[in-house]
């Protein structure tokens, strides 16, 4: 049986949505973030040396990295559903698996680290200098890059709408959706005004959130801030 | 014919090594980083909206994201070479494609951004505060995470040595090597003392650099700081 090692409020939630969609037997082992540091607990290192979540075990196989977990599950247990795409769109489907964690998430994590630096307690006479330094780094690198990526995805979903595609790679869910939902729902939850400025991303996230399998996954995963 | 859109001194160099290893016809379109900002030129946006390198075109296909480019080339043109692994190690091979860009590189890029903040010109009375802020962020997040990842790879290569495996996933090169060479050669080039502290990573990089196909790729790619 598949065991998902699941950290609360993390990139792992999307894997539960996939497991529910595959309609196969699985179990969840729950891990809680440290309340002080917000980091994953050391216990996770027993499963994989890097101690990150999500990670799955399937018999004696240990599979880490979100994109790979999704591909492994889709290929092994979803062969009847074309979750890895078909002859025409298989490279598109795989593209989003790599893009999400390789291009988009690093920028979002960098912004998170900068936001934490700004929010950290520090003497009042240092605060404006710290903020100026962080703002410079944001406006010269992470900020414009995040904006470029959001615009890119919004355009992709706008084109999809014209084509009648409700999912990232067509008229049905593929691996691309399970991978991309996390950064997109995090953006909708954290960036103000996405409903007005990025209506296609906003509508996409709401559409996915209304799916019965997604709702079941929320109950199974426990507290989750992005849905 | 395959065209590699190649940015000087970038993650794209490893794709040339793969193209040389596949021994197929290809051409390189060269792009130079902006001398002031060190960023990729806007021209690259004509190929893919995110304007990044590497990106390849193969007929009317446009493939971006290093891990995907490597998988695409290995699957399409390297079927006789088992570059995507065999029945036993195929998920291991794919793991490194995701790990390299999804886990290791984001940390290395974050360190690069912090180093740039420290090196940027600023008034002398601000410098110590800026350095303290950056050092705090490095010691609390990026620094220990980079160290953990380096130790993880060093251990993997040390285990490999015992097994007689000269490559990341066995006795012959696979997609994993073409993907992982970039962060590892960048570490060896930039971190002092890797020969002593991480002898297996150091030896691995030197071994790859001595390959005739790698050497040919260096000539084809032009100026490259990490080899």
Per-residue pLDDT of chain B (227 residues; tens, 9 = 90+): 999 999 999 999 999 999 999 999 999 999 999 988 888 999 999 999 999 999 999 999 999 999 999 999 999 999 889 999 999 999 999 999 999 999 999 999 999 999 988 888 888 888 888 888 888 888 888 899 999 999 999 999 999 999 999 999 999 999 999 999 999 999 999 999 999 999 999 999 999 999 999 999 999 999 999 99
Cis peptide before B54 (omega within 30 of 0): yes
Q: Is B189 on the interface with A (CB under 8 A)?
A: no
Check if the beta carbon of residue A73 is closer than 8 Å to that of residue A152. Answer: no
| pLDDT tens sequence across A3-27 | 999 999 999 999 999 999 999 999 9
Report the CATH architecture of B2-83. 3-Layer(aba) Sandwich (3.40)
- Could you tell me the residue ranges of all domains in chain A? 2-83, 90-212
Inter-CA distances, A103 with A148, B51, B87, B180, Å: 11, 12, 30, 16
Helix (H) or strand (E) holding A4: strand A2-7
**CB distance A200 to A207 below 8 Å:** no
Contacts of A129 in chain B (CB under 8 A): 126, 129-130
Question: Which of the residues B37, B68, B117 would you substitute to probe the A interface, choosing the one with the greatest number of A C-beta atoms within 10 Å?
Answer: B68
- Cis previous bond, A59, omega within 30: no
pLDDT higher than 90, residue A79 = no
Size of interface A-B (CB pairs under 8 A): 105
Q: Is B224 on the interface with A (CB under 8 A)?
A: no
What are the Cα distances from residue A149, in Å, to A156, B62, B69, B91? 11, 18, 20, 29
Q: Which residue in A66, A92, A50 sits closest to A14, CA to CA? A: A66
Q: Tell me, yes or no, if the two domains A2-83 and A90-212 fold the same way.
A: no
Q: Which of A201, A182, A100 is nearest to B50 (CA)?
A: A100
The region, left, alpha or beta by phi > 0 then psi within -120 to 50, assigned to residue A63 is: beta
Q: In whole angstroms, give the CA distance from residue B20 to residue B215.
A: 10
The domain at B90-211 falls in which architecture?
Answer: Up-down Bundle (1.20)
Q: Which chain B residues are Cβ-neighbours of A54 within 8 angstroms?
A: none
What pLDDT does A62 receive? 97
- Identify which of B50, B137, B141 has the shortest CB distance to residue A152: B50
Asked if A39 has any chain B CB less than 8 Å from its own CB, the reply is no
pLDDT digit string, tens, across residues A117-143: 888 888 888 888 888 888 888 888 899
pLDDT digits over A187-218, tens only? Answer: 999 999 999 999 999 999 999 999 999 999 99
Q: For residue B55, which phi and psi values (nearest 5 degrees)?
A: -150, 140
Q: Which of B71, B101, B141 sits opposite A102 (nearest CB)?
A: B101
Nearest to B168 by CA among B159, B157, B184: B157
Contact B95 A67 (CB under 8 A): no
The Cα B100–Cα A88 span in angstroms is 27
Of A98, A109, A136, the CB nearest to B67: A98
ipTM: 0.96
Contact A94 B68 (CB under 8 A): yes
Q: What tokens does B154 get?
A: 């060093």
By the 10 Å C-beta count (0-12 exposed, 13-18 middle, 19+ buried), B21 is classed as buried
* CA–CA min distance A122, chain B (Å): 10
CB distance A179 to A96 below 8 Å: yes
From 1.20.1050.10, 3.30.379.10, 2.40.128.20, 2.40.10.10, which CATH number describes the A90-212 domain? 1.20.1050.10
Give the nearest partner residue to A67 out of B63, B98, B148, using CB atoms. B98
B91–chain A Cβ distance below 8 A for any pair: yes
């Amino acid at each position: 049986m598949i065991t998902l090692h699941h950290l609360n409020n993390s990139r792992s939630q999307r894997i539960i949505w996939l497991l529910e969609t595959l309609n196969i037997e699985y179990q969840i082992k729950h891990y809680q973030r440290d309340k002080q540091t917000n980091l994953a607990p050391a216990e996770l290192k027993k499963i994989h040396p890097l101690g990150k979540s999500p990670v799955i075990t399937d018999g004696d196989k240990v599979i880490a990295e979100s994109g790979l977990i999704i591909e492994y599950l889709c290929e092994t247990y979803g062969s009847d559903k074309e979750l890895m795409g078909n002859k025409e769109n298989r490279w598109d489907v795989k593209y989003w698996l790599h893009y999400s964690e390789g291009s988009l998430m690093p920028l979002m994590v960098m912004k998170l680290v900068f936001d934490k630096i700004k929010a950290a307690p520090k003497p009042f006479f240092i605060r404006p200098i710290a903020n100026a330094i962080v703002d410079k780094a944001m406006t010269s690198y992470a900020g414009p890059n995040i904006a470029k990526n959001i615009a890119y995805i919004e355009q992709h979903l706008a084109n999809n709408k014209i084509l009648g595609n409700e999912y990232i790679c067509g008229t049905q869910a593929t691996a691309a959706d399970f991978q991309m939902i996390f950064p997109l729902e995090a953006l909708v939850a954290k960036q103000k005004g996405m409903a007005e400025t990025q209506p296609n991303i906003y509508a996409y996230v709401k559409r996915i959130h209304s799916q019965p399998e997604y709702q079941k996954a929320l109950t199974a995963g426990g507290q989750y801030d992005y849905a």
